[in-house]
Structure 1
Amino acid sequence: MAQIFPEFTVNDENLEEQKRKVLQQIKQNKEKIEKLLSIQNKTYENFVKPYQLMQVKLNLLFSPISHLNYVKNTPKTQEVYSSLLPVLTEYYTNLGQDERIYKAFTEIYKKEKDRLNQEQKKVLEDGIRDFELSGVNLSEYKRNKVKDINIRLSQLQNQFAQNLLDATDKYELIVEDFEDVREIPETDLEKAKTIKDGKTVYRFTLHQPSYIAFMTYCNNRQKREELYKAYVTRAPENEKILEEILSLRHEKANILGFKNYAELSLATKMAQSPQQVIDFLRELAKKSKSQAEKEYEELNRYAKKLGLEDDIQAYDFAYYSEKLKKEKFDVNDELYKPYFEKNRVIEGLFGFLNRLFKLDFEKINVPVWDPSVSVYQIYRKGKLLGRLYLDLEAREGKRDGAWMDEWITYHTDEKGNEIPPVAFIVANFSPSSEDSPSLLRPYDVETLFHEMGHALHHLLSQIKEPFVSGISGVEWDAVEFPSQFLEKFAYEPAVLKNFAFHYKTGEPLPEDMINRLKNSKNFLSALGMIRQIEFALFDMLIHLDKYTASDVQKILDKVREEVSVIKPPPYNKFQWSFSHIFAGGYAAGYYSYKWAEVLSADAYFMFVDNGLYNDELAESFYEEILTKGGSRPAMELFKNFAGREPDIDALLRLSGIKT
C-alpha cells in the first residue's frame, strides 16, 4: 500500500489558495470527462474507474474546507465554504444529469455485467439508479429546475447550520447567586466561573458541556427553564428556512416522479415505503409507551417527594432523573468522570479493538487544526490500514454534537496501488484546562465508541472501488449499524476494565461501580425510546407533502400528542434546531437510528450470548460487515454474518422493554 497521506495544513491564511485548488480541480474534471466521453470503446476500466477517481481528487481538496468550517468556524471559513457550495452543487448536479455519462454506464453494465466483480457491478447499479434519481431522463427544463433546487437547498441547509452555530455561540446566562449553582460539580463550576464588575459570577452557554451540566445539576427551577427556553428557541430565523427547504424538497420529488420527498429519500434505503417506516415506528411506540408512562410516574413520585409541587416538565427531566438514578443505582456522572479521563479512555478503546479485531493504533505527530487534536495510524497484522484524527473537546466556533467524517476512502488508483483511508472523529466533550484534563461522562464514553464504529466502517474497508468503499454506497438506514454495535460494549465490565482508572490515583473503577453502571444502562430507557420515535415520526410525516412552517408545528404537536410522555412546553421550537434533517443527511431518514439498531442489537447479543471475545464471531463481523463497505446490500451482509434474518425483539431486549 502506498503509505502517503495528505497532511492537514488548511487554515484561515491559506483558505483562498485551497479554494483555488478546488475550482481548478473542477475545471480539470470537466475536461477529463469530455476526454472519457470521446473514447470509442468504453469499458469499466477506461471509463468508470477514472470517473470515480476524479471525484476522489475533488473530495480530497474540498473536505478540509468543509471540515474546518465545522470545527473551527470563522468569518473566513464561512465565506469560502459558502462560496464553493453552489459551485460544487451545480457541478455534481450537472454530472448526475449528463445523459452521455448515464448512457455510458448503462451500456458498460449491459456489455460487461457477466465479467465484472460484485463491487464493480454495485458501482454501476448504484450509479444508474442515482442518474435516474437526479432527473437524467427529464426534459431540459425540468433538469435545470432540479439543478436550481439543488443549489438553493445546499445554500439553505448551510445557512440553517450557520444560524444555529451563531445562536449557540452568542448566548450566555450569568448566574450571580452561588446558591443556584451549588449542586453543579466543581469541575464544571470552575469552567463557568468568571469575574463581572469585580464580582465572581457563573457563565453558562448553550454549548453541550455547559448546557448539560446546568440542566442536570442546577437546583433553581426558574433558571433551568430560562436556559432551556433559550436552547429550544435558538435561531428563530430558521423557521422561514425550513419552510423553504421542505417546499423545495417536495417540488424536487414531484419533478422526479415521486409523490413526496419521503418516497424519494427511501429510494436509496432499505425501507420500502414511508408507510412501512411509519408502521415500524408506531409499533415500537406501542410496545414502549406503557413502560415509558410508568417510568414518568415513578420520576414524578420521586420529584414530589423532594418537594416539586406540579408534574415534571422538560426542563426538570435531567435534574430529577440524575437524582433518581443516583438513589436507585448509586450512579452519579460526577463519581465516574475521574475514572474516564479522555486519553485513558482512548487508549482503552484501542486496547478493546485490538483484542476484538486485532487492530493496532500508533500515535503520530502531524499537522492539526487545534492543539487538542490527536492523530493515529491503524494497523492489522502489521499492515497499515489508515489514519484517524480525533478532535473530541468542545470549543467556541465548533458545531455541537459528535460525528465521523471521511476525508479519503480506501480504493485503488489507476495503477492498482492501494490508497489508505483517512477519517475524522469530532465530539464536544468537556475541555481540558490547566487544572484538569478532559473528563468524560459515561454517556460521552458511549458516544466515542459510537463514532469509532463509524470510523471503523470507513477505515477497514477492503473494497477497491471508492463509490462503494467504506460507508459509501451503504443504505442510509444501515449506516448506523456498526456504530451502534460498538457503542453497546462501552458499559461491558470486561471492556471498562481496559480504561476506567482514576486520573489522579490510578485506582481502577471499583467492581461495584462497574456493576451499578451496567445495571443503570436501561434506566428510563423507554422514555428515551419514545423520544427518538417522536423525532423520527415527525421527520417522516413532514416529508409526506408540501407543508408550511405552521403545518410543521401542527404535525409536531400531533406527534407529541400521539407518542410523547413528557410533553414539551408550547414555546419549544425543536424544529428550528433539528439540524440532522435540515442541515444534515437525515431528511426522511431519522428513523434510521432505530431501524439500524435492530441489526446492531441483534449482532451485539450474538457476542454477549457466545462470549465477548469470540474470535470466530469477531472475524466474521470484521470480514462481512466492516471490510465490505457498500459493495453489497446491507441486509445481504447481515445475513452473511448472522446466518439469518435480523430479530426485531433484540432491540426491545436491549432497552429492557417488556412487551
Structure 2
Amino acid sequence: MFKEFNLENLEKSSVILEELLNSSRKKVEELLKIEIKTYKNFVLPFQEIGESINEFITPIFHIDSVKNSEITSKVYEECLPIISKYESEISQNENIYMSLKDIQYNENNTLNNIQNKVLENEIRDFELSGCNLDNNKKKRLEDMDLLKSELSHKFSQNLLKATNSYELIIEDFEDVKEIPQSDLELAKFEEDGKTKYKFTLQMPSYLAYMTYGSNRDKREELYKAYTTRASENGKIIEDLLSLKYEKSKILGFENFAQYSLATKMAKNEDEVVNFLIELGKKVKPKAIKELEEIKELALKDGIIDFRPSDISYYSEKLKKAQYDLDEEYYRPYFEQNSVLKGFFNFLEAMFGVKFTKNKAKAWDDKVQVYDLSENGKVSARIYIDLESRKDKRGGAWMNNWHSYFKNSNGDINLPTAYIVGNFPQSTNEIPSLLRHSDVVTLFHEMGHALHHLLSKVDEPFVSGISGVTWDTVEFPSQFLEYFSYDKDVLKLFAKHYKTGEVLDDEAINKIIKAKNFQSSMATLRQIEFALFDFKLHQDLYKTEDKVQNLLDSIREEFAVVIPPKYNKFQNGFSHIFAGGYSAGYYSYKWAEVLSADAFYMFIESGNIFNKELGQKYKDCILSQGGSYNMDKLFFDFAQRNPKVESLLKIDGII
C-alpha cells in the first residue's frame, strides 16, 4: 500500500537514478510515437512518469537535510546534475510541448476542468522553461538551472556548517541564572572538574540564551555570531541573482520578479509592492509604540544604548510583566507526545481524520510514523521528525513525497509527507518539552501536510500541494495555526507530563491574551523581509554592497530597530537563496489574508469546533489541492472574496 522509507543503497543512488531516468526517457519516446495522442494515452502516463521520479529522488534530497553527513552531501551532489539535466531535457522538449498543445486544442470541450487545468499549467511551464527558444538559449538555461541548484545547495551547506561550528562556553553561573532548568540541563557539561554551559547557534539553544541570558555582552556575542554566519554566502548571492536575472531576460521578462509572478495569484509587481507598503504603513505606528515599551523597561536597568541583541531578553520580561506569562512555565504542559495525541484528537473531531501510529521504518529513532484514515479507511501516511539534531538543518518544514492520484489502471495512489521541526531534544531524564511557539509551528506544518494528504484530486500534477500557486500555499498552514491559541483546543493536550494536570484557564488565558504581543513588530519584520526579497529580484544587484544598500533602504523606511553594520541577515536568508521563495516571500502575508479571514468565519459562527464549517473547509480547500485557483476555492468556501481587515483584527492591529 505504502512504499517504505529505505535508503540502504544510498551510495549507489546516482547509478540507480541514471537507470531510472533512462527508462523514463524511453517511456517518453514511446508516448511521442503514439499517432493519435489523447489525454488518456499521453497525459496520464506522462504524469505517472514524473511521479515515479519524484518518488525516488525525494528521500535522497530529504535525507541530506535531516541526517546530513559527508555521504549524504556527496550523494546529493552526484544526483543533482543528473536530475537537473533530465528536467531541462523534458521541460525543453518541443515534441512534448506540441503534443500537449494539440491535446488541449482537440479535447478542450470533452475534458473536465481539472484535466484542462493540468494542460494549462503544463503548457505554461514548458513556455517558462524556454521550450520555444533556439538550442543555444536552451543549453544556456539548462546550464544555469544546474548551477543555480548547486549554488543553493552550497548556500545551505555553508549555513549548516557555520551554525554547527560555533559554541559559546560560559563558566560563571551568574550569566545563566535566569535560564530555565530544562534548557540549562541541555547546556550543562563537566570539564576539568568544573560545571560549564555550552550554547550554540542551533535554534533552541540560541533562543534560550537570547531570551534568558543574564549577561548582556554574552548575548551580543551570540547575536553577532548568529548574524555573521556564512560570510562566503555573500558571493553566492551575487551569482544566484545574476543567474536569475539572466534567466528571466532570456525568457522575455524584465526581471526575475516578473518571471516569478507568471505562476502566482498576484497579477503584477505593483500589486505585490503596494500590498506590502500599505500593510507596512498601517502597522508601523503601533510597532514603534511596542518598541518604546521594551526600551522603557531596559532603561530601568540603565540601558541607554539599546541594541537588537537586547530585544528578546527584554521582550520576555515585558511579556511576563504585562501578562505574567513565562514560556518556560508552560513547557512541562507541552510534552511532545501529549501534544501530538491531543492534536490528532482535534483533527479527527474537525476533519474526520484519524491518526494511527505505525512501526514503519524511518531515518531516525525519534521519527514517528502515522497512518491517516477517513471513514475507517487508510488514506495517507505521515512521518513526523520534531527534535533538533546537529545533523539536521535549522527551521521547520513539510516535504511531500507521494501524491494522491488515480493511475492509468484506475487504482488510487495514496499520499505521504514528512513534517520536520527543530524542537527541544528529549533525553533519558527529560522528554521533549515544547514551548507554545513550537506548538504553533507544529500546527503550521501540519496545515501544509493536510493540504497535501487530504487531496482527492485524480490528476497528480494538481493533487495535494502540486499546482498550488506559491503565494497561496501558506493559506492552510497559517489557518491551522490560529487554532493553537484556542482554549478548548489547548485543553486537549496541555497536560503536565509528570502529574497529568490540565493547564488551568488562567494560564491559558494568558497565552491567548499574549498572542498579539508585539504583533505589529512581527508583521513589520515580515514586510521588511518580503520587500527586500521582491525588490532584490526587480533589478540586477551585482555586488554584496548593493544588496546591503537595498536592505538598508528598506529598513530605513520600515524597520523600527536598525541592526548593527556587521549584521548580514541576507547570508542566512535560506527561504529565498536555498528554498523556493525567491520573489515570493510576500506569500506569507498574502496568504495570511486568506487564512485569517477563513478562521474569522469560525469565530463569527460562535463555535470554534464548528464541524460543519470544518467539513466545508476540508471539502472546498484541502481536498481540492491545486486543481483550481485559490481565489475560486476561497470563494466556494466563504461565498465572498477575502477581507484584509480580518487579518488586522486577529492580530490586534485594529
| 2:7 maps to 1:10 | yes
AA partner of residue 349 (structure 2): R
Which of 338-347 and 608-617 deviates more? 608-617
User: Are the equivalent residues in 2 in contact too, given 1:18–1:61 (CA < 8 A)?
Assistant: no
* CA–CA distance in structure 2, aligned partners of residues 436 and 98 of structure 1: 56
| 2:246 maps to 1:251 | yes
Which of 393, 401, 410 aligns to 1:407? It is 401
Which of 532-541 and 273-282 deviates more? 273-282
Counterpart for residue 639 of structure 1: 635
Counterpart for residue 204 of structure 1: 199
* CA–CA distance in structure 2, aligned partners of residues 271 and 517 of structure 1: 34
AA partner of residue 443 (structure 2): F
SS of alignment partner, residue 485 of structure 2:
coil
Counterpart for residue 420 of structure 1: 414
User: Are the equivalent residues in 2 in contact too, given 1:21–1:61 (CA < 8 A)?
Assistant: no
Counterpart for residue 97 of structure 1: 92
User: Are the equivalent residues in 2 in contact too, given 1:82–1:155 (CA < 8 A)?
Assistant: yes
The two structures have a TM-score, normalised by structure 1, of 0.98
AA partner of residue 617 (structure 1): L
Counterpart for residue 212 of structure 2: 217
Matches within 5 A, 1:84-123: 84-123=79-118
* CA–CA distance in structure 2, aligned partners of residues 235 and 255 of structure 1: 31
* CA–CA distance in structure 1, aligned partners of residues 16 and 554 of structure 2: 47
Shift of 1:71: 0.1
* CA–CA distance in structure 2, aligned partners of residues 82 and 480 of structure 1: 29
AA partner of residue 532 (structure 1): Q
| 2:233 maps to 1:238 | yes
Which of 611, 615, 631 aligns to 1:615? It is 611
* CA–CA distance in structure 2, aligned partners of residues 315 and 308 of structure 1: 16
Matches within 5 A, 1:313-462: 313-462=307-456
AA partner of residue 73 (structure 2): Q
Which of 308-317 and 532-541 deviates more? 308-317
Which of 78, 84, 87 aligns to 1:83? It is 78
Matches within 5 A, 1:293-308: 293-305=288-300, 307-308=301-302
Shift of 1:20: 2.6
AA partner of residue 194 (structure 1): F
Counterpart for residue 525 of structure 2: 531
User: Are the equivalent residues in 2 in contact too, given 1:180–1:219 (CA < 8 A)?
Assistant: yes
User: Are the equivalent residues in 1 in contact too, given 2:77–2:150 (CA < 8 A)?
Assistant: yes
Shift of 1:196: 2.7
Unaligned 5+ runs, structure 1: none
User: Are the equivalent residues in 2 in contact too, given 1:300–1:311 (CA < 8 A)?
Assistant: no
AA partner of residue 144 (structure 2): I
The two structures have a TM-score, normalised by structure 2, of 0.99
* CA–CA distance in structure 2, aligned partners of residues 311 and 608 of structure 1: 43
Give deviations 1:265-301, integer Å, cap 9, x for gaps: 1110001112211110000000000000011111111
SS of alignment partner, residue 6 of structure 2:
coil
* CA–CA distance in structure 1, aligned partners of residues 448 and 505 of structure 2: 30
* CA–CA distance in structure 2, aligned partners of residues 186 and 279 of structure 1: 46
Give deviations 1:250-274, integer Å, cap 9, x for gaps: 0000000000000001110001112
* CA–CA distance in structure 2, aligned partners of residues 198 and 466 of structure 1: 60
Shift of 1:311: 4.4
SS of alignment partner, residue 8 of structure 1:
coil
User: Are the equivalent residues in 1 in contact too, given 2:404–2:455 (CA < 8 A)?
Assistant: yes
* CA–CA distance in structure 1, aligned partners of residues 593 and 325 of structure 2: 28
Counterpart for residue 542 of structure 1: 536
Give deviations 1:61-115, integer Å, cap 9, x for gaps: 1111111000000000000001111111111111111100000000000111111
* CA–CA distance in structure 2, aligned partners of residues 197 and 259 of structure 1: 62
* CA–CA distance in structure 2, aligned partners of residues 243 and 102 of structure 1: 33
| 2:639 maps to 1:655 | no
* CA–CA distance in structure 1, aligned partners of residues 420 and 269 of structure 2: 32
Counterpart for residue 228 of structure 1: 223
* CA–CA distance in structure 1, aligned partners of residues 255 and 513 of structure 2: 44
| 2:477 maps to 1:480 | no
* CA–CA distance in structure 2, aligned partners of residues 197 and 407 of structure 1: 48
SS of alignment partner, residue 308 of structure 2:
coil
Which of 448, 457, 463 aligns to 1:469? It is 463
Unaligned 5+ runs, structure 2: none
* CA–CA distance in structure 2, aligned partners of residues 301 and 170 of structure 1: 36
Shift of 1:10: 1.2
Which of 257-266 and 86-95 deviates more? 86-95
Give deviations 1:89-145, integer Å, cap 9, x for gaps: 111111111100000000000111111112111110000000110011111111111
Give deviations 1:590-632, integer Å, cap 9, x for gaps: 0000000000000001011102122221111000100000000
Which of 607-616 and 451-460 deviates more? 607-616
Which of 501, 509, 515 aligns to 1:515? It is 509
Counterpart for residue 119 of structure 2: 124
Shift of 1:17: 3.0
Shift of 1:313: 1.7
Which of 275, 284, 290 aligns to 1:289? It is 284
AA partner of residue 414 (structure 1): S
Which of 180, 189, 194 aligns to 1:185? It is 180
* CA–CA distance in structure 2, aligned partners of residues 126 and 250 of structure 1: 23
AA partner of residue 413 (structure 2): I
User: Are the equivalent residues in 2 in contact too, given 1:102–1:128 (CA < 8 A)?
Assistant: yes
% identical equivalent positions: 52
AA partner of residue 261 (structure 1): F
SS of alignment partner, residue 478 of structure 1:
coil
| 2:69 maps to 1:74 | yes
AA partner of residue 365 (structure 1): K
* CA–CA distance in structure 2, aligned partners of residues 312 and 652 of structure 1: 29
SS of alignment partner, residue 502 of structure 1:
coil
User: Are the equivalent residues in 1 in contact too, given 2:287–2:521 (CA < 8 A)?
Assistant: yes
* CA–CA distance in structure 1, aligned partners of residues 125 and 375 of structure 2: 38
Shift of 1:21: 2.3
Counterpart for residue 588 of structure 2: 593
Shift of 1:308: 3.5
Counterpart for residue 50 of structure 1: 45
* CA–CA distance in structure 2, aligned partners of residues 73 and 274 of structure 1: 38
* CA–CA distance in structure 1, aligned partners of residues 626 and 206 of structure 2: 38
AA partner of residue 583 (structure 2): A
Give deviations 1:3-28, integer Å, cap 9, x for gaps: x11111215xx212333322211110
Which of 597, 602, 605 aligns to 2:600? It is 605
SS of alignment partner, residue 471 of structure 2:
helix
Counterpart for residue 61 of structure 1: 56
Which of 390-399 and 309-318 deviates more? 309-318
Give deviations 1:381-412, integer Å, cap 9, x for gaps: 11211000000000111010000001101111
